[in-house]
Structure 1
Amino acid sequence: MATTEPIARIEARIAPELKAMFQTAADIENITLSEFLCKSAREAAQSIIANHNVLKLSAEDSRAFAEAIVNPAEPNEALKAAAKRYKQEFGSAS
Structure 2
Amino acid sequence: MAIASSNRTSRIGVRIASEVLAAVKRAAEIQGRSISDFVAAAAQDAAERTITETQIIRLSLEDQQRVADLLLNRPAPSPALTRAFEAHRQLISEEK
| Alpha-carbon distance between aligned partners in 2 of 1:46 and 1:7, rounded to the nearest angstrom | 20
Counterpart amino acid of residue 50 in structure 1: T
Name 1:46's counterpart in structure 2: 48
Name 2:33's counterpart in structure 1: 31
TM-score, normalised to structure 2, is 0.83
Number of residue pairs the alignment of both structures matches: 91
- Deviation of residue 2 (structure 1)? 5.8
TM-score, normalised to structure 1, is 0.85
Structure 1 moving runs of 4+ over 4 Å: none
Structure 1 unaligned spans of 5+: none
Name 1:80's counterpart in structure 2: 82
- Deviation of residue 76 (structure 1)? 1.4
Counterpart amino acid of residue 48 in structure 2: Q
* Alignment match of 1:14 (pick from 9, 13, 16): 16
Counterpart amino acid of residue 32 in structure 1: S
Offset from partner CA, 1:32-84 (integer Å, 9 cap, x none):
10111011111111111111110111111101101111111111101001112
Structure 2 unaligned spans of 5+: none
Aligned-residue CA RMSD (Å)? 1.6
Name 2:65's counterpart in structure 1: 63
**Secondary structure in 1 matching 2:5:** coil
Is the 2:3–2:41 Cα contact (8 Å) retained in structure 1? no
Of all paired residues, the percent bearing the same amino acid is: 31
